[in-house]
Amino acid sequence: MPLPTIVIGAGPAGLTAAYHLSKHGNPVTVLEADPEYVGGISRTVAYKGFHFDIGGHRFFSKSERIEALWREILPDDFLERPRSSRIYYAGKFFAYPLKPFQALVSLGLIESIRCVLSYAWAQLTPVRNPRNFEEWVTNQFGARLYQIFFRTYTEKVWGMPCTEISADWAAQRIKGVSLVSAVLNALRPARTGGPDAIKSLISTFRYPRKGPGMLWDACAARMQTMGGTLRLGRRVTALARDHNTGRWLVRHEGPDGTSEVLDADHVISSAPLREIAHALTPPLPEQALAAADRLSYRDFLTVAVILRDRGTFHDNWIYVHDDTVKVGRIQNFKSWSPEMIPDPSLTCYGLEYFCFEGDGLWESTDEALTERALSELEALGLAKRSDYVDACVVRQKKAYPVYDDLYASNVQIIRDALSDAHAGLHLVGRNGMHKYNNQDHAMMTGLLVAENIVAGTAVHDPWRVNEDAEYHEEQRSVSADQQSASVSGLRAVPRRVS
């Protein structure tokens, strides 16, 4: 009988892989560090009957395979929800995706003229081969709109100047959107999806009644019913491959510090690539370990504030482009799903603060963070302190792999160092591959790796999954550089001029 496949991490990628393996009769054991929740950053936290979505997760994918998998796992519990989000800037609210006419009216005549002229200048004198976020967005929208609607929020998220963020990030997260496409979208009927829909411009999406964690709880339960094993509160500390047998020895620890070792033919890892690189035996070359150390992550925390519902706003979330407050984005969990709020007279806002683990914001007490959240809600005119009922703080480590200008080369160095001596180790998901993508992309990487294991051969290359969770079996006629980038799963990232 084959040894079980060990899956590190019970997030979307890991659980999708485990589900598919179990469905096809392959033994699998999932090791998850969290002692309570599955779903990773897509989990839903429960607090006194309230449910909090960590990060906000719309269920929409261009991949029919992923859509079908969602329906299979959670057939009767999806709601169709309207997409509603706005930008807060200079005391006013602007629709997002941007509605250019509404935005220009709200900005006023003089500012509007500046924006239009700035956009025209950007079209006449674009930055050739933009290297960073600022250059890429300026090409698409003009310098003035970039300053108003992109710079402040992006720098809050990443904690670095936009000139130090790779253009790859902008191209991936604002794919297909420009001022022209935003204008055309404003003139067209609302989109609900379809293979040609731009993700940033969809008008509706599906959402589980009790948050995304509902789907991952169901996935984990089904996986176990089919024979798979889930072990919570288990942190993997070492991965060693026996060169004589080809088996993997996976050491993991529990909350009490006790450790165990499991044997496996295959290991699927969605753990942070930086950590896995240092946990391997045989060890990676020093160059690869140095590359791993250069990979960085952005953390964030959510202050979920329970309030008496005054109907202040009904957006799924608001992006705060105001540098007088620290909050970057504010979710209204009731707008995601009314069933996440147990008392209809109450509502719950989730204030998201982007930070680095160990900095002053991360180390603040829950009480101090709650006080900051209430003060900033009042300053933004979104709530009154007198309506406060309760609060809960949730910290999320390594939420976002950072796309600096060296990330692609660092990832490639590590991949090149994974030789035959590490056969049977499969990297999946956002942190496992150091690729910032949505949960449907993460699911597709896990699914393809599981299919390879079931088939007994490398039928798919999961690094060819693009940001729309589409898998490209064949490459069209493209340049050598484009071909290399597509095969590696990473765009060619511009380097700084030395």
> pLDDT tens, position by position, for the chain (498 residues)?
689 999 999 999 999 999 999 999 999 999 999 999 999 999 999 999 999 998 889 898 889 999 999 999 999 999 999 989 999 998 999 888 777 777 778 888 899 899 889 999 999 999 999 988 999 999 988 999 899 888 999 899 888 899 988 887 777 666 555 555 555 454 444 444 454 454 445 678 899 999 999 999 999 999 999 999 999 999 999 999 998 899 999 999 999 999 999 999 999 999 999 999 999 999 999 999 999 999 999 999 999 999 999 999 999 999 999 999 999 999 999 999 999 999 999 999 999 999 999 999 999 999 999 999 999 999 999 999 999 999 999 999 999 998 887 888 999 999 999 988 899 999 999 999 999 878 999 999 999 999 999 999 999 999 988 755 666 443 333 333 333 333 333 333 333 333
Q: How far apart are CA 69 and CA 90, in angstroms?
A: 43
Count the neighbouring beta carbons within 10 Å of the beta carbon of residue 76. 6
Query: According to DSSP H, which parts of 326-365 are helical?
Result: 333-336, 360-363
Total residues belonging to the chain: 498
Taking CA atoms, 432 is separated from 241, 292, 472, in Å, by: 18, 12, 20
Domain ranges of the chain: 5-77+211-290+404-488, 85-202, 297-401
Q: Under CATH, domain 297-401 is a member of which superfamily?
A: Protoporphyrinogen oxidase, mitochondrial; domain 2 (3.90.660.20)
Angle at 125 between CA 119 and CA 127, to 5 degrees: 100
φ, ψ of residue 375 in degrees (nearest 5): -65, -40
Give 114-119's long-range contacts (Cβ < 8 A, gap of 24+). Answer: 114/144, 115/142, 115/144, 115/145, 115/148, 116/142, 117/144, 118/142, 118/143, 118/144, 118/145, 119/144, 119/145, 119/179
**Contact status, residue 336 vs residue 210, Cβ threshold 8 Å:** no
Q: What is the CA radius of gyration of the chain?
A: 23
Whole-number Å distance between alpha carbons of 261 and 238: 9
Quick check: helix, strand or coil at residue 329? strand
Assigned architecture for domain 5-77+211-290+404-488: 3-Layer(bba) Sandwich (3.50)
- pTM for the full predicted model: 0.87
Give residue 79's identity as a one-letter amino acid code: L
